[in-house]
Structure formats: structure tokens, C-alpha cells
Copies of this chain bind each other. A is one copy, B any other.
């Protein structure tokens, strides 16, 4: 049994196949247009307040063997996705790569290639990888705090889980597909979200009673957050009206974690309005925090310096706050981890650092 959304997905993918068929039928060499996926084609979308792909397009055609092979792979992948939808199954991106072993000349050369093509199909069809029943290797991050989830599991049973009362210390693990058909969310006492980069800091806030004291909802991002984690944060923000704050290490890679939560990631800019939460606020660690709190630091590596410089030309970091923080970090040549706050004791982050930050932002 396929539902409405699944039928629409198959129709959307079917149109790509029809277009190839029609071009061949008309005696044309088939081609497929697709948005250029790079930093220079990122534009601000004022309607959704996120950064999305602009108008620059690149064209894939079958004039070369390589191009024709790419088209063949595309059609094989659409066929595979169709089968999964009809059979109500799913597959990891890695499994799909291995399954392509059976596709003859349509076999992928690497998993990067098959992953990228799954994203290309999203851009062209306007449907999502989750609609295609393709999963990443690892599931999403963990949540702790007073909200209640109702999740339809893979056996078709619905489970109701309160993210405070019905879970162990590790919290509720966000599944790969968090769409309304799978997961619904009911409010509880939680008043705002702290999305946290590291597991150590997530546990610290939980152990220190930060959840109960401030009615906080903690989300462990696990580094660069999975799509389902970002989508879930957006739903919490939209449906429960919870303000989102993001708490990371103080280095260029962590700034990008914030950017992907708040503005959208370059790789997934075609679905930024679906994944990004534009009202998210950054609560450190900033270069200023490193100075103010005299945090233990590490010297910036050459890669760190390049990443910071690249951020200065990234439209997502164009506002005054980010320009001055990035320039400050470049001039001090130091970075710091969020757990470096432990220099001042295990309670410093929950007794002083976060209350000050959150009060400044009007969240507390």
C-alpha cells in the first residue's frame, strides 16, 4: 500500500524518466538540467529566510560515454527507488552502492558518486531522499527533555515516548525519517532548545539538572548534524514554538555546524527551507568567549585558518557578528572546545556561562 506522498514521489521521478524517453523519441540526445551545487550559487531566499541554490544551472547530457553512463545510472536508481517504495522497504546509501554491482554498465564507481546522485534526484524531482527510502549509515542524535514523541516504527506499531520519563540517560534517539507520517510531537514543559555539539557537554547539562531547572530541551548534534536532526529541530521550532540555541566548540568547523542548523548547508541547499531554522541563535564558543573566560586553547592549524578565511567569503557568514568573530579568531590564532569551560569547574557552564548567554539573548 502506497500513501499519497509516495505516489507523488513516484510520479515526480517518473517525469524524469518520461523526459529522457521523449527526448530519445524525438531523436534528441537526452539531457537533464540541474542546479550548480557550489558556494557561488548560494542565494538568500527572503521568503524562508534561508540560503538556497540560485539560478546557475549545469546540464548533464549523453553526448559522451561518461554522460550516457551517468544517465543510465540515474534510470537504474529511479527503478530501484520505485521498487523500494512499492515493497515498503528502505536501504542505506551504502547498500544501494553495492546493489549497483548488479546494474552492469550502470554500476557506481564510488559511494560518493551514488550519494551525490541521490541528492541530484532530490533537486530535479523536488522530493526528498527520505521519500526515496534511502537512509544514511547512522541514525540521528539524542534528545532529553519534556516533550512527547509518537513514533510509527518499522513494524507499523505506534510508540509513545516521553523524552524525559520513558528513556534512559542516553535519551530518545531521533530516527532517520521524522516526517509527520512517522513522527508526531506533543509539547511538554520544555521552553527552549539547546542544541549541543558534543556528547560530553550534553551529558554535563543533563547531570547538572539544567533540564529541570530551566525547562530546557537538549539535543545532541553529534558533530555536523544529520538531516533528520536538523529537520527535527525545525519541527520543534515551528510546531512547539521553541526558540533554538546552538552550543558548539569554538573553531571554524563548529561555526559551520551552526550555519547548517540556522541557514542551511551548501550540500543540501535545495532543501534548506525544510532543514534550516533561521531564528537559531549561536551561544558559543566564540573568539570573544575564549578571551573573556580565559579558556584553554589549541593553536589554529593551517586547515583551520583556510576554513576561517573561506567563511569570510561565505554569504551565510556575512553579518557583522560573524565577520568580527571570525576575524578575531584569525588574529588570536587560537580555538577552544566547549568542554574547556570545565577549567572553571564542572558547574561553571550551567551556573554562569549558559545563564548569562541565554539571558543576554532573551531566552531566559
Measured in the bound complex, the distance between the Cα atoms of B99 and A341 in whole Å is 9
Copies of this chain per assembly = 2
Q: Give the interface centre of A161, A169, A174, A204 by most chain B CB atoms within 10 Å.
A: A169
Residue of B nearest to A95 (CB): B342
Measured in the bound complex, the distance between the Cα atoms of B169 and A165 in whole Å is 18
Q: Which residues of B contact A200 (CB under 8 A)?
A: 92, 94-95, 135, 137
- Interface residue? A343 (CB, 8 A): yes
In the complex with contacts A135-B203, A151-B169, A171-B173, A296-B101 CB distance below 8 A: yes
- Interface residue? A138 (CB, 8 A): yes
**Pick from B98, B149, B199: contact of A139, CB under 8 Å:** B199
Q: Which residues of B contact A46 (CB under 8 A)?
A: none
Q: How far is the CB of A140 from chain B (nearest CB, A)?
A: 8
Interface residues on A, range: 35 or more
- Interface residue? A340 (CB, 8 A): yes
Q: Which residues of B contact A180 (CB under 8 A)?
A: none
Verify A346–B91 contact, CB threshold 8 A.
yes
- Interface residue? A104 (CB, 8 A): no
Verify A169–B175 contact, CB threshold 8 A.
yes
Measured in the bound complex, the distance between the Cα atoms of B126 and A350 in whole Å is 34
**Contact residues of A: prevailing secondary structure:** mixed
- Binary interface profile of A, 151-194, with partner B (CB < 8 Å = 1, else 0)? 10111000101000111111111111000000000000000000
Residue of B nearest to A90 (CB): B207
Residue of B nearest to A177 (CB): B169
**Pick from B138, B168, B174, B204: contact of A95, CB under 8 Å:** B204
Q: How far is the CB of A186 from chain B (nearest CB, A)?
A: 15
In the complex with contacts A90-B207, A149-B168, A343-B159 CB distance below 8 A: no
Q: Which residues of B contact A341 (CB under 8 A)?
A: 98
Residue of B nearest to A168 (CB): B151
Verify B170–A207 contact, CB threshold 8 A.
no
Measured in the bound complex, the distance between the Cα atoms of B159 and A161 in whole Å is 12
Residue of B nearest to A208 (CB): B89
Q: How far is the CB of A221 from chain B (nearest CB, A)?
A: 13
**Pick from B142, B172, B342: contact of A98, CB under 8 Å:** B342
Verify B99–A170 contact, CB threshold 8 A.
no
- Interface residue? A246 (CB, 8 A): no
Q: How far is the CB of A263 from chain B (nearest CB, A)?
A: 27
Q: How far is the CB of A163 from chain B (nearest CB, A)?
A: 11
Q: Which residues of B contact A204 (CB under 8 A)?
A: 92, 95
Verify A203–B92 contact, CB threshold 8 A.
yes
Verify B89–A207 contact, CB threshold 8 A.
yes
- Interface residue? A362 (CB, 8 A): no
- Binary interface profile of A, 84-122, with partner B (CB < 8 Å = 1, else 0)? 000001111011101101100000000000000000000
- Binary interface profile of A, 21-55, with partner B (CB < 8 Å = 1, else 0)? 00000000000000000000000000000000000
Q: A95-B339, A139-B169 are in contact. List 15 more A-B contacts (CB 8 A).
A: A90-B207, A92-B203, A94-B198, A96-B342, A98-B340, A101-B296, A137-B199, A139-B199, A142-B173, A151-B169, A159-B167, A161-B167, A161-B168, A168-B173, A169-B175
17 pairs from A and B in contact (CB 8 Å cutoff): A89-B207, A92-B339, A94-B337, A94-B339, A95-B200, A98-B343, A101-B296, A135-B203, A138-B199, A151-B169, A153-B169, A154-B207, A159-B168, A161-B167, A168-B175, A169-B175, A170-B174
